[in-house]
């Protein structure tokens, strides 16, 4: 089966677009009657990417994660290249990732599977890309739930991928304004 290029949260964020809320909007709820505010969720404590982040902004947002991984004995693979994976290192990496999960940035709210409007946002981005001449682009189910944008079609057409990446930021900005 041929692979298609899929825009992940980090790649899409590097392609800056427009601003988005730092955190998910508040949702009104009924009080439990205890008179105490609910405890903050772990999801709210995690940093959140924004569509308008520069590569430098994204790097700064990821520093706590790489610091935590280093404290767990896992070197920053951005500086060292890919780590060789053995069963022992795979277990160590998994344990470190679990310990550092609270520092992993959440995706931009527009792309977050927790956002009930994220699918509609991605459809608007794809519609914009098609308006720019990208024909091999679609919204597909994501690996970790929600949806993502696949570019290049089954044959992974490099020209189509390049055209989509060229227009991604402006299409995300347009889609977020609607």
Question: What is residue 104's predicted lDDT score, i.e. its pLDDT?
Answer: 94
Question: What is residue 178's predicted lDDT score, i.e. its pLDDT?
Answer: 78
143 or 46: whose pLDDT is higher? 46
Above 60 in pLDDT, residue 10? no
| pLDDT per residue as tens digits for the range 47-88 | 999 999 999 999 999 999 999 999 998 887 655 555 555 656
Q: Do 178 and 110 meet the contact criterion of CB atoms below 8 Å apart?
A: no
Above 50 in pLDDT, residue 27? no
Angle at which helix 158-177 crosses helix 118-131, to 10 degrees, equals 120
Question: What is residue 126's predicted lDDT score, i.e. its pLDDT?
Answer: 97
Angle at which helix 87-100 crosses helix 55-71, to 10 degrees, equals 110
Strands 147-151 and 5-7: antiparallel
At 5, is the secondary structure helix, strand, or coil?
strand
Q: Look up the pTM and report it.
A: 0.63
| pLDDT per residue as tens digits for the range 105-137 | 999 999 999 999 999 999 999 999 999 999 999
Question: What is residue 88's predicted lDDT score, i.e. its pLDDT?
Answer: 60
What is the secondary structure of 89-150 as a DSSP string? Answer: HHHHHHHHHHHHGGGSPBPPGGG-TTSTTHHHHHHHHHHHHHHTT--SEEEEE-TTSSEEEE
| pLDDT per residue as tens digits for the range 140-174 | 998 878 899 999 999 999 999 999 999 999 999 99
Above 80 in pLDDT, residue 29? no
Above 90 in pLDDT, residue 11? no
């Amino acid at each position: 089966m041929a692979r298609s290029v899929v825009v992940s949260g980090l790649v899409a964020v590097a392609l800056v677009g427009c601003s988005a809320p730092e955190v998910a909007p508040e949702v009104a709820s009924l009080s439990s009657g205890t008179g105490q505010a609910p405890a903050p969720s772990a999801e709210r404590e995690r940093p959140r990417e924004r569509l308008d982040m520069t590569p430098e902004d994204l790097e700064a947002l990821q520093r706590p994660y790489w610091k935590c991984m280093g404290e767990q004995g896992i070197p920053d693979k951005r500086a060292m290249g890919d780590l060789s994976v053995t069963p022992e290192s795979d277990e160590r990496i998994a344990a470190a990732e679990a310990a550092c999960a609270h520092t992993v940035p959440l995706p931009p709210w527009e792309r977050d599977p927790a956002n009930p409007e994220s699918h509609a946002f991605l459809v608007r981005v794809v519609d914009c890309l098609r308006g720019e001449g990208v024909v091999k682009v679609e919204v597909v189910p994501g690996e970790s739930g929600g949806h993502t944008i696949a570019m290049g079609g089954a044959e992974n057409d490099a020209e189509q991928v390049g055209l989509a990446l060229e227009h991604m930021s402006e299409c995300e900005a347009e889609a977020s304004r609607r």
